[in-house]
A and B are shown apart, each in its own frame.
Chain A
Amino acid sequence: MISIKGLRKVYTSDNKKLTAVDDLTLDIENGEIFGVIGYSGAGKSTFVRLLNRLEEPTEGNVIIDKQEITSLTKNELRSARKEIGMIFQHFNLLWSRTVEDNISFPLEIAGVSKEKRVKIVQELIDLVGLSGREKAYPSQLSGGQKQRVGIARALANNPKVLLCDEATSALDPETTNAILDLLVDINQKLGLTVILITHEMNVIRKICNRVAVMEKGKIVEQGDVLDVFSHPKQPVTKKFVAQLMEPGSEDETEDIENLLHNVNHDGVLLRLRFIGESTNQTLISQLAKKFPIDINILQGKITQTQTGGFGTLITQFIGNEKDISNAIEFIHHETSVEVEVIRNAD
């Protein structure tokens, strides 16, 4: 387990103090994929570098697997770092080395014999799906392939933890998905803990079990991805969720104003909020069969996370008042879908 207590990083330059990470306390379980999301400047890059002390913390401590990283001497830290793999936004491969030599690099640092290195490198190349490209140089690879090399390299010394610093931010959406699938695959196969930082909600949604939202060096909200997403409390979290639910329009309220204007004034407008298992229920067809009403879906999106789906539908129920209120009662009591009336019948 990774335990972070009261972690703080203050940069001093020209007598100005800048607190990049501010009194951060966090527990991360073994084997989970933990996401940290925030806009640029939130301090997430500094945070991830404090974990392996690429940046020295000003205060606080980090314990990884019962080993207090923050109290290690330089030599001890070097050997501890071999247990903590790291991948980067810009891959940071050595351009002067081939794919296999790049992956071999951390093994050379760890003093692994040549024979063993060759064997481990080949296994890793197969694991990340780069067979046949062993002798290629980084400049001959696509972004996704470069990150695969980065991942293989980070895994070479069989680490317990993998730190991902914006690992997919330089990749196109399709490649991002492939890399995320690979990370999940590795997480499950090798059981290693993954800590990833990102500004892309999609990354969190796809692979994380738990998430922490960072703003101005602090964690403002954390918990299971589904909980945090379905009931965002902080404005910054709401903004991230909106980004996921309605790509291209960050402001949901404006959309609803438009809806209220444009949709004919029949019936009742409802917002149905699906969380977790409720997304699997056949709610709309059940309603249509049980009650003599018409249902019109106006807008919505349901999306999947590692622990279940969530999303909202904005619907128009048309029928007589009694049937509609019965239907709403039914949703309230018989299902776990949350319902909210946006506009009543005129």
Chain B
Amino acid sequence: MLTNIKMEDIWTATYETFYMTIIALIGTAIIGIILGLLLYLTSKDAIWENTTFNVIVASIVNVFRAIPFIILILLLFPFTNFLVGTVRGPTAALPALIIGSAPFYARLAEIAFREVDKGVIEAAKSMGAKTSTIIFKVLIPESKPALVSGLTVTAIALIGYTAMAGVIGAGGLGDYAYFYGFQRRQFDVVLLCTILILIIVFIFQFIGDYITNKMDKR
């Protein structure tokens, strides 16, 4: 048992998975929140109500959400090559990871913003708040627990995506499990990679739940 394991390589792969997940998560959070805000603010009866714009953003989000991730990576090869200069390695996986998960998170963020009490927004308006004040001092702070729990769900989906990206050479535990485990019939490697991925998932879930509870003063 575990005779084929090279701990050094395993640690590198684990590090790469963390690297991809965390950087992609940051990118996803930023783009997702911006898209979520646009979706929310341009919806009916909202501050920047604009049906045309809303339909355009919603369509883009829906299209990118509909493309299977493994195909999205392939489609994005030219873009990735232009941006990163290569299509291999953890950094090259980032554009696809972010573009794949940001639309998903955008929908979760939009739902989070919708949950903010309309009365509180009205109260802020009655005090003479600007739209930017409403966004940064009302919408985002009041939806923080929902934004974070949404981000936790997205992070776990992202860990899955990094493993999938591994199959086409992104590095990380998915890559290691496929090339060193599956293809060389070293199933102890596959097993260990699975366990490590599970541990990473639990860590993200635990941290996410903890922060959500800590922030929720309702």
Contacts and interface: CB of A to CB of B under 8 A. Distances in A.
Contact of B126 (A81, A108, A137): A81
Given A108-B137, A137-B217, A52 B126 contact: yes
Contact of B217 (A52, A77, A95, A108): A95
A13 B123 CA distance: 25
B148 to A, nearest CB: 12
A93 B120 contact: yes
A96 B145 CA distance: 10
Contacts, number: 67
A64 to B, nearest CB: 14
Contact of B142 (A96, A157, A163): A96
A335 interface: no
A147 to B, nearest CB: 13
A98 to B, nearest CB: 8
A94 B128 contact: no
Interface string A156-185: 010000010000000000000000000000
A97 B144 CA distance: 12
B128 A81 contact: yes
B128 A92 contact: no
A80 B128 CA distance: 8
Given A109-B129, A109-B133, A110-B128, A95 B218 contact: yes
Given A78-B130, A96-B141, A96-B142, A88 B217 contact: no
B127 A94 contact: no
Contacts of A137: 217
Given A54-B125, A81-B127, A86-B126, A94 B119 contact: no
B187 to A, nearest CB: 49
B117 interface: yes
Contacts of A80: 128
B9 interface: no
Given A88-B119, A94-B120, A105 B142 contact: no
Contacts of A79: 128
Contacts of B127: 81-82, 105-106, 109, 153, 157
A139 interface: yes
A139 B54 CA distance: 34
Given A81-B128, A109-B128, A92 B117 contact: yes
Interface in A135-156: 137-139, 153
Contacts of A37: none
Nearest to A86: B126
A106 B126 CA distance: 9
A96 B126 contact: no
A86 B127 CA distance: 8
A84 interface: yes
Contacts of B142: 94-96
Interface in B89-144: 117, 119-120, 122-130, 133, 137-138, 141-142, 144
Given A78-B128, A79-B128, A92 B133 contact: no
Contact of A92 (B119, B129, B144): B119
Nearest to B133: A109
A90 interface: yes
Contacts of B120: 92-94
Given A78-B130, A105-B137, A96 B217 contact: yes
Contacts of A157: 127
A85 to B, nearest CB: 8
A79 B129 CA distance: 9
Contacts of A97: 141
A139 B128 CA distance: 25
A108 B141 CA distance: 15
A95 B126 CA distance: 18
Given A95-B217, A108-B137, A139-B218, A88 B123 contact: yes
Nearest to A82: B128
A48 to B, nearest CB: 10
Contact of A96 (B122, B130, B144): B144
**Most chain A CB within a 10 A radius of its CB, from B119, B124, B127, B141:** B127
A138 B141 CA distance: 15
Contacts of B122: 54, 88, 92
Contacts of B138: 94
B118 to A, nearest CB: 9
Interface in B21-51: none
Interface string A201-226: 00000000000000000000000000
Contacts of A163: 126
List of 7 A-B pairs having minimum Cβ-Cβ separation, nearest first: A81-B128, A92-B119, A92-B123, A106-B127, A78-B128, A86-B126, A137-B217
9 contacts: A77-B128, A81-B125, A94-B120, A95-B217, A96-B141, A96-B144, A108-B133, A109-B124, A157-B127
Interface of A: 52, 54, 77-82, 84, 86, 88, 90, 92-97, 105-106, 108-110, 137-139, 153, 157, 163
Given A90-B119, A110-B128, A139-B218, 6 more contacts: A77-B128, A88-B119, A94-B142, A105-B137, A109-B124, A153-B127
